[in-house]
Amino acid sequence: MVGTTEQTERPIQPALQMRGISKSFGPTQVLRKVDFDLRAGEIHALMGENGAGKSTLMKIAAGLIDPYDGDIFVAGKGYRMATPRDAMTAGIAMIQQELSLVPELAVDENIFLGQEKVRSLFFVNREQQIRSAREVLQPLDFHGRIDQPVAKLRVGEQQLVEIAKALVSNTRILIMDEPTSALSINETERLFHVIRRLAKEGVAIVYISHRMEEVLALGDRVTVLRDGQRIGSMSKERANRRDIIRMMVGRELQEVFATGKSDTATRKPVLEVSNLWLENPAPTLARPMLVENVSFGVAAGEVLGIAGLLGAGRTETLEIIFGLHNGTSGGEVRIKGKKVRLLNPVDAKAAGIALVTEDRKRDGLVLGSGIDRNVELPVLRTIAAFGLVSDAEELKLAEQTIARLGIQASGPKQPAGTLSGGNQQKLVIGKWLWTKPRVLLLDEPTRGIDVGAKAEIYRLIGTLAEEGLAIVFVSSEMPELTLLSDRILVLREGRPTALLAREQFSHESILEYASPGGTIQPEFGELSIAR
């Protein structure tokens, strides 16, 4: 525990009390007897590294994860949060990082989904819904049209719709999970304004984030989780950057990674892409293309970071290079100066390109199959003679991968789905290494991985670069980008805005270039004027 108990014990009931909450997913325990208190009208920041258990704890409170161990009290009354409906009756609403709106439905229909205003029997009274929606949305500074599908709104506006949705169901406790990850600077400010106003009206707010600046600016109290345990809480007055980081990481940050970066800018690039573009399947005036004019080169042994807000087209850029958008994308890709035609992942693989996707569970692994069956997938034909797979070679491949990358597993047959996040990530990288790639594309390589494994992944990326791979990696974590990259390309709404050299790295400059309305480096500015 940090600090001492304050004497000013207020008589009012806490809005939310969680006692001894524990939760395991398979063999990994994600929460260990966590206590959490929330007062009415406070903004309570919940901090921690990826995988610390912040989201899991709050999902339990919102009835999204069941079963769990422990007790939950809302305004002094015991609740069992088995379903989101239970949480709703208790007045708890959670806005998740991935918004849960129905894109085809209009704003008001989304707000009143499940509790439609009806005229008689079951005829929906749209006029009244729209009127009520406007009443709720007006104070939130919402500018979009209420009778339009939410798919046409910007992410920031969509978030306001989510908040409105929570407000109409008499929410007293509002949980927000990383709400600013897709927002520009202006939108973030507006959101903070709204949050402060709600708190003033008595709504208790849990604000999950790992961005220090936001938390310090917004929170009344800060609680830090690490590895599924509550490390401590502190009030706004006591909170400072240094303590919070120490509580989050458990040690000072610098020790994690350090390499002597060589100058790679002068070397000949292995991968060159120019003028990549990708059509927007739902084009808007502001965003006719998801990706436009993206060009860069990466040399052997170089690490190029791609920065940007959520939805800036970073993932799509990697996907175009990997041949996943055949028909809707274009541009030129050269490997060692030779132009290659990449129509599908088969071509990309043959050209020596490997992609490690952001969501390894959805896109990277066959979770029900063992390590051996996953490792062999990209290179199965090399360990097969005339279509018959050699079991011995399969086992050898798996064992070598486990040893080389230090995967912690009970053996080569352990199902991929039961590995921890870090080991899963190593497995995905490991299976691609067998294709002997020249270019490695990594999309959020440390998402959902605990701190220790993160450091290992960093070291792995460093080693692979030293071995001569050209690495392009996308990340939302500023420290990671500045730590690993030799250069950083910043994307904003599908267009490049800056290419930063190592001495130009700073969180502020990256955010400035990434935010809509921010500045653009001159060489990229001309391009957008020419359009």
Our finding on whether 513 is near another protein (CB under 8 A) is no
Task: Name which of 8 and 254 has its Cβ closer to another protein.
Answer: 8
Our finding on whether 234 is near another protein (CB under 8 A) is yes
Q: How far is the CB of 482 from another protein (least distance, A)?
A: 28
Distance CA 84, CA 70 (A): 17
Our finding on whether 237 is near another protein (CB under 8 A) is no
Q: Tokens 């959101």 sit at which residue?
A: 191
Compute how many residues bind another protein; rule: CB under 8 A. Answer: 64
Our finding on whether 435 is near another protein (CB under 8 A) is yes
Kindly indicate which of the ranges 167-175, 194-202, 305-313, 358-366 contains the residues binding another protein, using the contact rule CB under 8 A: 358-366
Kindly indicate which of the ranges 96-104, 373-381, 404-412, 500-508 contains the residues binding another protein, using the contact rule CB under 8 A: 373-381
Our finding on whether 362 is near another protein (CB under 8 A) is yes
Exposure letters 429-448 (e unless 16+ CB within 10 A, then b): bbbbbbbebbbbbbbbbbbb
SS3 for 143-203, per residue? CCCCCCEHHHCCHHHHHHHHHHHHHHCCCCEEEEECCCCCCCHHHHHHHHHHHHHHHHCCC
325 three-class SS:
coil
Task: Name which of 5 and 254 has its Cβ closer to another protein.
Answer: 5
Cβ partners under 8 Å of residue 60, min gap 6: 18, 21, 23, 31, 66, 68, 72, 81
Kindly indicate which of the ranges 123-131, 185-193, 351-359, 405-413 contains the residues binding another protein, using the contact rule CB under 8 A: 351-359
Q: How far is the CB of 203 from another protein (least distance, A)?
A: 18
Half-sphere exposure of 39 (CA within 13 A, CB side): 13
Residue 89 burial class via C-beta count within 10 angstroms: exposed 0-12, middle 13-18, buried 19 and up: middle
- Shortest CA distance to 269 belongs to which of 293, 318, 302? 302
Task: Name which of 70 and 516 has its Cβ closer to another protein.
Answer: 70
Site for another protein in 436-455 (CB under 8 A): 436
> Mask of contacts with another protein, 68-107, x by CB under 8 A?
---x-x--xxx-x---------------------------
Cβ partners under 8 Å of residue 90, min gap 6: 74, 77, 79, 81, 173
Task: Name which of 391 and 523 has its Cβ closer to another protein.
Answer: 391
- Binding positions for another protein, rule: CB under 8 A: 1-6, 8-9, 17, 19, 35, 37, 39, 71, 73, 76-78, 80, 221, 223, 230, 232-235, 322, 324, 345-346, 348-350, 352, 355, 357, 362-369, 373-374, 376-382, 384-389, 391, 431, 434-436
